[in-house]
Amino acid sequence: MQYIKLKRKAEEVDLFSEEDMGQSSTQPISHDDYEKLIAYLKKKNVSAVLPIQIAYYAGLRIGEVCGLTWQDINLEEQYLTVKRSVRYDGAKHKTIIGPTKRKKVRTVDFGDTLTAILKKARKEQLKNQMQYGELYHRNYYEEVQDKNRVYYEYYSLEDTQDIPADYNEISFVCLRPGGCLETPSTLSIACRTLAKKLDGFEGFHFHQLHHTYTSNLLSNGAAPKDVQELLGHSDVSTTMNVYAHATREAKRTSARLLDKVAGND
């Protein structure tokens, strides 16, 4: 089969569209805007700060951030493992813990900045646990068998409550001060509220952080194949097609080399 080439459907282009094809519908945010975002949330919704910091510095999707546990993180070697995703099931009215979008486990390396953020968050959570005492919530999952499939429901209970025998404790990273998981639902609400209240963030949504992470890597010289693996994309072409806007400045710089040839630099 090495000589066989699969035919692909040609991409259809509207020859008379006035849409600017050079612009992506989802734009990355600048680092200054990120700092502005964090400063606002520290005053208005502190529970949303850590998930947004992790997404900005590690590129995790909203469900992946919420599904991250302390056992998934190696602070010494500075990497985390993305194994699961959290979502709300409207039909069951339950928060469900399941596989990631691609149903694959991936490793994401990170730097000193996120390491410091995570260490500080861990200390803060231990402090909250002592302050809340018996009122502090712990997080659990229960395995549920439904016909031919298995899934996991999320629950949160105070230390004073009896723990059912089939509940398994899980140590999530992104918690509210009282110990409950910061779920994708509450995090999405925080982002929508922010988009309405904070100037310059109209239309902001959590997935923009995923795009920003990728854009920052590609525009600063990261290899597309490495970025693909960090993001968990099925194919490197997906990475480059979706995030083509990240290379726009590099293309402009290359194109301007002709000005130097013409003596117009």
* Residue 191 vs residues 44, 130, 168, 252: alpha-carbon distances, Å: 11, 29, 30, 33
Domain total of the chain: 1
pLDDT tens sequence across 220-260: 777 777 777 777 766 666 666 655 655 555 566 666 777 77
Amino acid type, 192: R
Residue corresponding to tokens 């094809």: 21
Q: Quick one: pLDDT at residue 224?
A: 75
What span, in angstroms and rounded, lies between the C-alpha atoms of 231 and 226? Answer: 9
Segment 210-222 mean pLDDT: 81
Angle subtended by helix axes 31-44 and 184-197, to nearest 10: 110
- The CA distances from residue 209 to 26, 68, 124, 156, in Å, are 10, 17, 24, 28
Distance CA 115, CA 118 (A): 5
Residue 95 lies in a domain: yes
Looking at residue 146, its pLDDT comes to 84
On whether residue 219 sits in a domain, the answer given is yes
204: helix, strand or coil: coil
Q: Tell me: the pLDDT tens digits for 37-88?
A: 999 999 999 999 999 999 999 999 999 999 999 999 999 999 999 999 999 9
As a whole number, mean pLDDT of residues 187-216 equals: 91
Query: Hey, what's the torsion of the CAs at 40, 44, 47, 49, to 10 degrees?
Result: 0
Distance of CA 78 to the CA centre of its chain: 17
Residue 7 lies in a domain: no
* Listed range (59-73, 150-164, 171-185, 208-222) with the worst mean pLDDT: 208-222
138 within domain boundaries? yes
Q: What distance in Å separates the CA atoms of residue 227 and residue 233, rounded to the nearest whole number?
A: 9
Neighbours of 20 (CB within 10 A): 7
Q: Give the pLDDT of residue 31.
A: 93
Cα–Cα distance measured from residue 194 to residue 171, given in angstroms and rounded to the nearest whole number = 28
- Residue 158 inside a domain? The answer is yes
Tell me if 255 is assigned to some domain. no
**What would the mean pLDDT of 116-131 be, rounded to a whole number?**
97
Is the distance from CB of 68 to CB of 105 less than 8 angstroms?
Answer: no
pLDDT category at 201 given cuts 50, 70, 90 is very high
Dump pLDDT digits (tens) for 4-46: 666 655 556 565 655 554 444 567 899 999 999 999 999 999 9
Beta carbons of 83 and 72 less than 8 angstroms apart: yes
CATH number at residue 87: 1.10.443.10
Residue 258 placed within a domain: no
Strands (E), the chain: 73-74, 79-82, 85-89, 94-98, 106-109, 137-146, 149-158, 167-169
Amino acid in position 193: T
Q: Which two tokens stand for residue 66?
A: 């919420």
**Domain containing 101: what range?**
31-235
Whole-angstrom distance, CA of residue 206 vs CA of residue 71: 24
What is the pLDDT, as a whole number, of residue 7? Answer: 64
Question: How many whole angstroms separate alpha carbon 250 and alpha carbon 254?
Answer: 6
17 domain residue, yes or no: no
Question: What is residue 1's predicted lDDT score, i.e. its pLDDT?
Answer: 62
What whole-number distance in Å separates Cα of residue 66 and Cα of residue 103?
16
DSSP states along 14-25: -TT--S-TTS-S
Return the pLDDT at 234.
63
Residues 130-152: pLDDT tens digits? Answer: 999 999 999 999 999 988 888 99
Quick check: 213 and 57 in contact, CB under 8 A?
yes
CA–CA distance, 252 with 250 (Å, rounded to integer):
5
